[in-house]
């Protein structure tokens, strides 16, 4: 990557790139990894993991050029993080490595970093696909006790949301900006509950949609 980014003899395309222009490729490569896994293609997975690793190397090289950090810092950082977040393995501390313990350690890290929001819902990236962000929010909420007791109430809520969407389709002012806004809101509620039902079923919504 250093050769590709060399101003004297590097690749013109690689030299033109920055963090923002490369980010879509990073996301695309992550999805191609998931696709290879879905297809059970281990040769493809090996190749796609290499492509994803290249994205890490690319971002790290650009950061190194700006005097920020390098690939070695990225590797050391994730190693340190795994040690911190697995005290039951590396420090002989109590606990079982449950999601709740993991979340508490993350909360303490955010607090130590001076972040204002250290709640259970903090740190969920806004750049995640909407279904994945919804799932993350629901999982975090469930770990602090805010959840339906089982799939039954979720089915009831789903039926309620379907009825509300249908009502907006039948609204006398359908087609107006206000009606469109209401319909969008109700469809959002419906999709959010559908993602919650998938969570209760132990099904990843994204994987289900890819296979549908």
Q: Among 43-47, 72-76, 111-115, 152-156, which stretch is predicted with the lowest mean pLDDT? A: 111-115
Using a pLDDT cut of 90, give the percent of the chain over it. 54
Domains along the sequence of the chain with CATH:
2-69 (1.10.287.1080), 130-211 (1.10.287.1080)
**Mean pLDDT value across the chain:** 87
Segment 85-95 mean pLDDT: 73
Do residues 38 and 210 touch, judged by C-beta distance below 8 A?
Answer: yes
CA 210 – CA 205 distance, rounded (Å): 9
Q: What is the pLDDT of residues 47-88, one digit of tens each?
A: 999 999 999 999 999 999 999 999 999 999 999 988 888 887
pLDDT band at 141 (very low <50, low <70, confident <90, very high): confident
Task: Report whether pLDDT(204) > 80.
Answer: yes
What is the per-residue pLDDT for 113? 73
pTM: 0.65
Q: Locate 61 and state its tokens.
A: 């090289």
CA 119 – CA 184 distance, rounded (Å): 28
């Amino acid at each position: 990557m250093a050769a590709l980014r060399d101003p004297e003899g590097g690749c013109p395309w690689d030299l033109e790139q920055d963090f923002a222009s490369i980010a879509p490729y990073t996301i695309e490569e992550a999805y191609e990894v998931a696709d290879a896994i879905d297809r059970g293609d281990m040769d493809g997975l090996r190749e796609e993991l290499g492509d994803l690793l290249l994205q890490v190397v690319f971002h790290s090289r650009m950061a190194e050029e700006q005097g920020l950090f390098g690939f070695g810092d990225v590797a050391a950082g994730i190693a340190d993080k795994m040690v911190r977040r697995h005290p039951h393995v590396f420090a002989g501390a109590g606990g079982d490595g449950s999601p709740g313990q993991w979340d508490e350690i993350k909360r303490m890290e955010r607090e130590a970093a001076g972040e204002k929001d250290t709640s259970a819902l903090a740190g969920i990236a806004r750049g995640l696909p909407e279904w994945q962000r919804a799932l993350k929010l629901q999982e975090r909420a469930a770990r602090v006790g805010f959840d339906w007791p089982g799939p039954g109430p979720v089915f009831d809520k789903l039926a309620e949301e379907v009825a509300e969407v249908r009502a907006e389709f039948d609204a006398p002012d359908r087609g107006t900006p206000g009606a469109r806004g209401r319909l969008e809101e109700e469809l959002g509620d419906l999709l959010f509950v559908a993602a919650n039902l998938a969570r209760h079923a132990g099904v990843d919504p994204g994987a289900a949609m890819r296979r549908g």
